Structure formats: structure tokens, C-alpha cells
DNA sequence: AATGATCTCAACCGCTGGTAG
DNA sequence: GCTACCAGCGGTTGAGATCAT
């Protein structure tokens, strides 16, 4: 569509950045701020395309970037989020302070994808719990009325329509049988994610059906109806629950913000 | 020590979504 | 509504590092 090809200009530097180029970029951004990547190279006096500058800044030069040594906790978080979100590296990176999407993508492709594909039986030498391995590897079972088997595809995180959000209080007012229904096949949420019902996607995080009867009063999060540690974990993973402030119910707006 | 195989990760490429005109 | 531009995303590449023989 007549789009200007990036980096096609003759005379632009390509490949690895030099220390001097890094200095120029950092000092320019420190002085003028991020943004306007298209014109930044010209204004900063860099022989690079805007995309290259943006990438260099975001993945390497930005303050607060952690490099290397991805911890076990971070690794587990990546696996869990990947099982939920798929290759949405920027979203996953958003839950890992100091990590970039590029780094997580690389780490997944070179290390974690192999680990996760290891058969779960036998020893647990990969460092993941068996449950975690299953969650990461297995696709959730499609709901009966699921639209087209777009299988293996994780959540499409762009919520198109939110039809129902059942408050935990409402759940608690239901009978035990109703609670069972609510927490059985789906969680108490009906978010239409481009044809995919969010509830079933979260179902694998639930414990067994036996857990349902144990629903207590202490969990009041968005996924409170399923009343499992996994649900609580998921809320934290998605930023829907502040680990320090148990009991806070996120608003729908919070929920959407957490996804988008 | 030499050499080929494998791994890692920074950078590039092409595409999409948002938006201003 | 159409077009063009910009920002951002995810897949891929390739140079350098590391490992195995």
C-alpha cells in the first residue's frame, strides 16, 4: 500500500550498535524523551532507521532492563503465562519487570520450549511442577459450543465484548449446587474474546471438582468461584489481584486494562 | 589445538492496528 | 470511507560464543 519500506535507505548503518551510537541515542532520549522514532535518527544525528533506534532503546538501553540470569520464578511465570497467552511476548514481558519481549521470546525459543516439551512423567528435573507442565503443554478442551476449532491457539487477548461479570458476592448467594455449576465447567465470567469464552480457557487452572465444595469465604477475587490456589495465582499473574491486598475485587475496567 | 556442530541473542523484516488528514 | 504514516508486535536471521569430537 505504498508503505515506506523501513531501513531501505542507502547509507544507514545496520547490524550491531557501536558504543558511540548507544551514547548518542541514550543522551538524545534522556534529553528529549521517547517517541517520534521516525524522525529521531535524523534529529539525533544517527545513521540508523527509527525502528532500529526504538528496538535498541527498548531492548537494551532503556533503564531498568535486567539482563541474563532468568530466575526460576521468572521461568515458571513465563511458562504459565505462555500456556495462557501463547506467543504474546509483549504481554508476558509486561508481567516481568525489567524483561523485554525480545528476551523472553529468545529465552522461550532457545530454552523453555524444549523444557516444556519434555514428557512430564518421571523425574521433575526440569524444575516445573507436573501440573505446570501439563498446563503449559496441553491445550484446554474445547467447549461443546466452541466455535471453529482454532485449536492450540491460546487466548486472543483483545476482548471484543464483555457480556457478564458475576461478582463474587452474587456467587456466594447461590446454592451449593449452583456454585458447583458455576465453578464446574466455566468460571463465573462470560467474556467473549473474539468467539472464545474466557471461562473455559481458565478452567485448566482449577483444581479437581472436589475443590468446588470447599469454597470458602476468604477468596473474593474475580475468579473466586473456583476457589483454588491456581485461580489466585492466575489473578496475580494477570495483575488482577494485588498480592498484598487480598480481597480487592477488580472492576471491569481494571480487567480490561489488564488484558489490553 | 583444530574444526565442525550447536546454541544464544541482538537485530532485522514484514505485518497489523491506530489515527490524523 | 480512504489513504498514508507511525508505533508496535511476533517471526526469523545470522554473527559470535560455546561445546563436542
Q: How many residues does chain A have?
A: 260
Nucleotides of C under 7 A from a protein CB: 3-12, 15
Q: Which nucleotide is nearest to A60 (CA to C1')?
A: B10
For residue A111, give the C-alpha cell.
530454552
Q: What is the pLDDT of residues A62-72, one digit of tens each?
A: 888 887 778 88
pLDDT mean over A153-172: 35
List of protein residues whose beta carbon is under 7 A from strand C:
A 1-4, 6, 15, 34-39, 50-51, 54, 87-91, 101-102, 105-106, 109
Contact A179, A212 (CB under 8 A): yes
Contact A251, A259 (CB under 8 A): no
Instruction: Determine the protein residue whose CA lies at the shortest distance from the C1' of B15.
Output: A3
Task: Please report, in angstroms and rounded to a whole number, the separation of the first and last CA atoms in chain A.
Answer: 28
- DSSP sequence for chain A: --PPPTT-STT---SSPPHHHHHHHHHHHHHH-S--TTTHHHHHT-SS-HHHHHHHIIIIISTT---S---HHHHHHHHHHHHHH-S-HHHHHHTSTT--HHHHHHHIIIIIHHHHTS-SSS--TTSS-HHHHHHHHSPPPPPTT--TT-TT--------EEEEE--HHHHHTS-HHHHHHHHHTS-SEEEEETTEEHHHHHGGGS--GGGGGG--SS--STTGGG-SHHHHHHHHHTTSS-TTSTTPPPPHHHHHHHH-
Q: Which nucleotide is nearest to A91 (CA to C1')?
A: C9
Q: Which nucleotide is nearest to A35 (CA to C1')?
A: C7
Q: CA-CA distance, A46 to A27, in Å (whole number)?
A: 12
For residue A143, give the C-alpha cell.
467447549
Angstrom CA distances, A117 to A135, A150, A155, A196, stand at 11, 21, 20, 25
Q: What is the pLDDT of residue A132?
A: 41
For residue A190, report the phi and psi dihedrals to the nearest 5 degrees.
-130, 80
Distance A59 CA to C17 C1' (A): 20
| pLDDT tops 80 at residue A156 | no
Q: Which nucleotide is nearest to A85 (CA to C1')?
A: C10
Contact A156, A193 (CB under 8 A): yes
Q: What is the pLDDT of residue A118?
A: 58
Using the structure block, give the residue that is written with the C-alpha cell 500456556. Answer: A83
Q: What is the pLDDT of residues A203-248, one digit of tens each?
A: 333 323 333 333 333 333 333 333 345 445 555 555 555 444 444 4
Q: What is the pLDDT of residues A87-123, one digit of tens each?
A: 889 999 988 888 999 999 999 988 887 776 655 544 4
Q: CA-CA distance, A214 to A201, in Å (whole number)?
A: 22
Q: What is the pLDDT of residue A252?
A: 37
Distance A43 CA to C5 C1' (A): 18
Distance A75 CA to B7 C1' (A): 19
Amino acid at each position: 500500500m505504498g508503505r515506506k519500506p523501513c531501513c531501505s535507505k542507502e547509507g544507514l548503518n545496520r547490524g550491531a550498535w557501536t558504543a558511540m551510537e548507544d551514547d548518542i541515542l541514550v543522551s538524545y532520549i534522556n534529553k528529549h524523551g521517547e517517541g517520534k522514532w521516525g524522525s529521531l535518527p535524523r534529529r539525533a544525528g544517527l545513521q540508523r532507521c527509527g525502528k532500529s533506534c526504538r528496538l535498541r532503546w527498548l531492548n537494551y538501553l532503556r533503564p531498568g532492563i535486567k539482563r541474563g540470569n532468568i530466575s526460576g520464578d521468572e521461568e515458571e511465570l513465563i511458562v504459565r503465562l505462555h500456556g495462557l497467552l501463547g506467543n504474546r511476548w509483549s504481554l508476558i514481558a509486561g508481567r516481568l519487570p525489567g524483561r523485554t519481549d525480545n528476551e523472553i521470546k529468545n529465552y522461550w525459543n532457545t530454552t523453555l520450549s524444549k523444557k516444556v516439551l519434555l514428557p512430564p512423567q518421571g523425574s521433575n528435573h526440569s524444575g516445573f511442577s507436573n501440573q505446570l507442565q501439563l498446563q503449559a503443554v496441553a491445550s484446554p478442551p474445547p467447549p461443546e459450543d466452541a466455535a471453529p476449532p482454532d485449536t492450540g491457539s491460546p487466548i486472543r487477548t483483545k476482548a471484543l465484548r464483555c457480556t457478564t461479570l458475576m461478582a463474587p458476592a452474587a456467587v456466594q448467594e447461590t446454592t451449593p449446587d449452583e456454585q458447583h455449576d458455576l465453578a464446574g465447567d466455566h468460571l463465573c465470567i462470560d467474556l467473549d474474546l473474539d468467539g472464545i469464552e474466557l471461562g473455559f480457557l481458565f478452567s485448566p487452572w482449577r483444581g479437581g471438582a472436589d475443590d468446588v465444595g470447599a469454597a470458602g469465604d476468604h477468596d473474593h477475587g474475580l475468579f473466586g468461584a473456583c476457589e483454588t490456589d491456581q485461580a489466585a495465582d492466575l489473578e496475580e499473574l494477570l495483575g488482577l489481584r494485588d498480592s498484598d491486598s487480598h480481597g480487592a475485587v477488580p472492576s471491569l475496567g481494571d480487567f480490561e486494562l489488564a488484558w489490553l
